[in-house]
Amino acid sequence: MAAKKTVRKKSTRGTAKKAGKKVSAARARRSAVRKKSGAARKRLTPSAGKRGLASDEVRLELDAPELSALRAEIEAAGGTGLGAYREPLPGRPMLLASLPITAVEPTPFQRNLSPTHTKRLAQKIEESGSFLDPLIVVRGEDGRLWTPNGRHRLAAAKVLGLRQITALVSPDEGLAFRILALNTEKAHNLKDRSLEVIRMARELARRTPRKKEGDYATEFEAPELLTLGIIYEENGRFAGGAYSPFLKKVERFGTKTLPASLREREGMSARLVEIDAQVKRIVAELQDKGFKSPYLRNYVVARINPVRFHRAKKGDTKPPMTLGAALTRMASSARKFDTSSVRAGDLALVAAVSGGGDAD
């Protein structure tokens, strides 16, 4: 009997070992498929179809009739045209010009200037002895020349004491409102992007009060930036990064006119600020209990987020609930938050998921 039992045990162990090998092989296959699909996503495939202008179509004479008005404005400002061309993709005319540095100003809705970045940029330009990157300049209101992309280069040029600055000038004033996606001079953080978007929205609401918020989806980039921008206008230290994942799931561009939509967003922003006050209270209580993690706020916001487990299906653009409903549930969860339920391991998990990044 004993011998038979031993044989049966060996047989069981062998079966388990074979099953383990099969599981390992299946995992290896899945891993290989994931790696292959990941590599495919990262691969850049050139378009089979060709777009844009040919070289002879890009060429444009400086005295072209379509640039005459713009050229006159530049000369009236004390500048001079250096050359002209058509943009290779849309074919719009562009004028390369040398402008007096006093004739150019940033757009009124642009992000705040960073003195640190400006000084560093001026130093590098001085060291290299070259100012190679022209400003992007458009016609502003009342014939002014605005730079929607080049604020820090303009400020650096002033630090260096330059008289003139080179610019690519476009007669398309609307470009000033579409430039955010192309602005790579200094990486926008969430606060920068939100402030620039809300300033653009207020300017556009003044100019085109009958236009709907959704008409400017390209210019505004993401709806949550409008809500956060309203808050950042009042409180530049607001921890928007903690609330951004929540807002992304429930925010959508509105169908109301832009002025009406902004008024509605101001009410929603005020409610979010009230929730943040509750979050600060909870964080203070946790700190009194000995929790010192920099991820406390992120943890609390995640706990009270009513849509944290929602995963949108492919192609589904509808939010899981309206922003108003989500804020109501979030506020209720904040009031009922039980600090005694928090464990140190929960915070360690949040830190691991955050990857050691900015806890905001």
Q: Domain-by-domain residue ranges, the chain?
A: 57-187, 195-354
DSSP H/E element including 135: strand 135-139
DSSP state, residue 111: P
Q: Which residues of 176-196 are buried (b: 16+ CB within 10 A; e: fewer)?
A: bbebbeebebbebebbbbbbb
- d(CA 299, CA 293) in angstroms, rounded, equals 10
pLDDT value at position 305?
A: 95
Does residue 169 contact residue 70 with C-beta atoms inside 8 Å? yes
Structure tokens at 132: 């190679």
- d(CA 18, CA 278) in angstroms, rounded, equals 55
* CATH of the domain spanning 57-187: 3.90.1530.10
Tell me the whole-structure pTM to 2 decimals: 0.58
How large is the angle between the packed helices 258-288 and 190-207, nearest 10 degrees?
Answer: 160
Rounded to 5 degrees, φ, ψ at 139 are -70, 130
Over its length of 360 residues, how does the chain's per-residue pLDDT go in tens digits?
455 455 454 454 555 455 555 556 666 666 666 665 555 556 778 878 888 888 889 999 999 998 998 899 999 999 999 999 998 988 889 999 999 999 998 887 777 788 888 898 898 888 888 888 899 898 877 778 888 878 889 999 999 999 999 999 988 877 767 765 555 444 568 998 899 899 989 989 998 999 999 999 888 889 999 999 999 999 999 999 999 999 999 999 999 999 999 999 999 999 999 999 999 999 999 999 888 888 889 999 999 999 998 888 888 889 999 999 999 999 999 999 999 988 877 776 665 555 444 444
- d(CA 238, CA 231) in angstroms, rounded, equals 7
